[in-house]
Amino acid sequence: MKSLKDAIEQKGLIISDEVLKVDSFLNHQIDCPLVMEMADEFYEHFKDKKITKIVTIESSGVAPSFATACRFGVPMVFIKKAQPSTMQDPVSCQVFSFTKNKYYPICMERQYLSEEDNVLFIDDFLANGEAFKAAENLIKECGANISGVGIVIEKAFQKGHKYIVDAGYDFCALASIASIKDKKITWAK
């Protein structure tokens, strides 16, 4: 997606050969027209999958997931990073965060997904795939089917891409990074 790649190159901040900061338009401040364009791209890719729910993990995946859910006309469910006392029938697991370099719990209310649901998982970044694996675990525990995985920015040089593709999921990354070296991004496609 050219406009996304342009935003990354113009507004992104390369912290290291493995860390890209996109707070100015995606993870802290939101470029709403760009996020709506992302939703259109995800819709075009997954429109024949009979999607019934969009699922993400809070918080950085919420904006593109919300826009995509609006585009599909279906509910969005976000997996929480802390279990509130009001949760009545939670499913939960642990996930390792690449950027935070620590494990944290994630959970969701079981009632929001069922075996009738065709889920499109959307997230902002894909690195080693740990967040997706944890979400996959919760989605499957609820009995729902993962019909597709949409990622805004993937670091294709890390393990997450291979895991998702090898698992047979329909996969769409809007901006795929082959490498980051000397503060320069090389695009995979």
Judge whether 52 and 119 are in contact, CB under 8 Å.
yes
Is the pLDDT assigned to residue 132 strictly greater than 90? yes
Query: By three-state DSSP, how is residue 103 classified?
Result: strand
CA angle 151, 155, 159 (to 5 degrees): 95
Annotated binding site for 5-phospho-alpha-D-ribose 1-diphosphate, which residues?
127-131
Q: What is the pLDDT of residues 18-41, one digit of tens each?
A: 899 999 999 999 999 999 999 999
**pTM > 0.75: yes or no:** yes
What is the number of domains present in the chain? 1
CATH value at residue 161: 3.40.50.2020
Q: Is residue 10 exposed (0-12), middle (13-18) or buried (19+ Cβ within 10 Å)?
A: exposed
**Domain region containing 100:** 2-187
Q: Give the angle subtended at the CA of 127 by the CAs of 90 and 182, to the nearest 5°.
A: 150
User: Cα(142)–Cα(8) distance, rounded to whole angstroms?
Assistant: 35
What would the pLDDT profile of 39-79 be if each residue is shown by its tens digit?
A: 999 999 999 999 999 999 998 899 999 999 999 999 999 99
Q: Return binding residues.
A: 20, 27, 127-131, 155
Structure confidence by residue, pLDDT tens digits, 162-180: 999 999 999 999 999 999 9
Annotated binding site for xanthine: 20, 27, 155
84 HSE (CA, 13 A, CB side): 7
Residue 99 clears pLDDT 90, i.e. is over it: no
